[in-house]
Amino acid sequence: MPIATVNPATGETLRTYDALSDEAVEEKLALASRTFDTYRTSTFFDRSRLLQQAADLLEADSPDIARVMTTEMGKPVAAARAEALKCAKTMRWYAQNAQGLLADEHPSDQDVKDSGAARALVRYRPLGVVLAVMPWNFPLWQVVRFAAPALMAGNVGLLKHASNVPQTALYLEDLFRRAGFPEGCFQTLLIGSGAVEGILRDERVAAATLTGSEPAGRSVAAIAGDEVKKTVLELGGSDPYVVMPSADVAKAAKTAVTARVQNNGQSCIAAKRFIVHDDVFEEFRDAFVAGMRALSVGDPLDEATDVGPLSSEQGREDLEELVDDAVESGATVLCGGQRPKDFADRGWFYEPTVIADVTPEMRIHREETFGPVATLYRVADLDEAIEVANDTPFGLSSNLWTGDEADIDRFVQDSQAGGVFVNGMTASHPALPFGGAKRSGYGRELAGHGIKEFCNITTVWVGA
Residue 360: the pLDDT is 95
- Across the range 200-216, mean pLDDT stands at 97
Paired with 356 in beta bridges are: 332
Query: Is 335 annotated in the active site?
Result: no
- Choosing from 87, 185, 268, 335, the catalytic residue is 268
- Across the range 300-325, mean pLDDT stands at 97
Summarize the chain as % helix, strand, coil (round to 5). 45, 20, 35
Please give the full DSSP string across 244-268, using - where no structure is assigned: -TTS-HHHHHHHHHHHHHGGGG--T
- Across the range 451-462, mean pLDDT stands at 98
Torsion angle, alpha carbons of 441, 161, 45, 30, to 10: 110
CA distance 174 to 177: 5
Please give the full DSSP string across 339-405, using - where no structure is assigned: --GGGTTSS-----EEEES--TTSHHHHS---SSEEEEEEESSHHHHHHHHH-SSEES-EEEE-S-H
Instruction: Return the amino acid letter for 126.
Output: P
- DSSP annotation of 186 reads E
CA distance 334 to 351: 12
Question: How does residue 456 score in pLDDT terms, banded at 50, 70 and 90?
Answer: very high
CA distance 373 to 337: 8
Query: Is 185 annotated in the active site?
Result: no
- Across the range 256-277, mean pLDDT stands at 98
- Across the range 433-460, mean pLDDT stands at 98
**Is residue 66's pLDDT more than 90?**
yes
Q: How would you classify residue 330: left for phi > 0, otherwise alpha for psi between -120 and 50, otherwise beta?
A: left
Question: How does residue 252 score in pLDDT terms, banded at 50, 70 and 90?
Answer: very high
- Across the range 195-223, mean pLDDT stands at 98
Distances (CA, A) of 424 to 109, 192, 257, 323, 402: 44, 38, 12, 27, 10
**Orientation of helix 44-73 relative to helix 141-152, angle to 10°:** 170
CA distance 313 to 346: 11
**Orientation of helix 166-178 relative to helix 44-73, angle to 10°:** 160
Paired with 445 in beta bridges are: 434
Tell me the per-residue pLDDT of 126-184, one tens digit each, with 9 for 90 and over.
999 999 999 999 999 999 999 999 999 999 999 999 999 999 999 999 999 999 999 99
At residue 447, what are phi and psi to the nearest 5 degrees?
55, -165
Residue 169: the pLDDT is 98
Residue 284: the pLDDT is 99
Tell me the per-residue pLDDT of 268-284, one tens digit each, with 9 for 90 and over.
999 999 999 999 999 99
| Residues 6 or more apart in contact with residue 114 via CB below 8 angstroms | none
- Outline where 130-195 has alpha helix (H): 141-152, 166-178
**Is residue 1's pLDDT more than 80?**
no
Tell me the per-residue pLDDT of 317-366, one tens digit each, with 9 for 90 and over.
999 999 999 999 999 999 999 999 988 889 999 999 999 999 999 999 99
Please give the full DSSP string across 312-348, using - where no structure is assigned: -HHHHHHHHHHHHHHHHTT-EEEE--S--GGGTTSS-
CA distance 376 to 283: 13
- Choosing from 72, 83, 173, 234, the catalytic residue is 234
Residue 356: the pLDDT is 98
Residue 344: the pLDDT is 80
Question: How does residue 397 score in pLDDT terms, banded at 50, 70 and 90?
Answer: very high
Q: How far apart are the first and last CA of the chain?
A: 61
- Mean pLDDT score of the chain: 98
SS3 124: strand
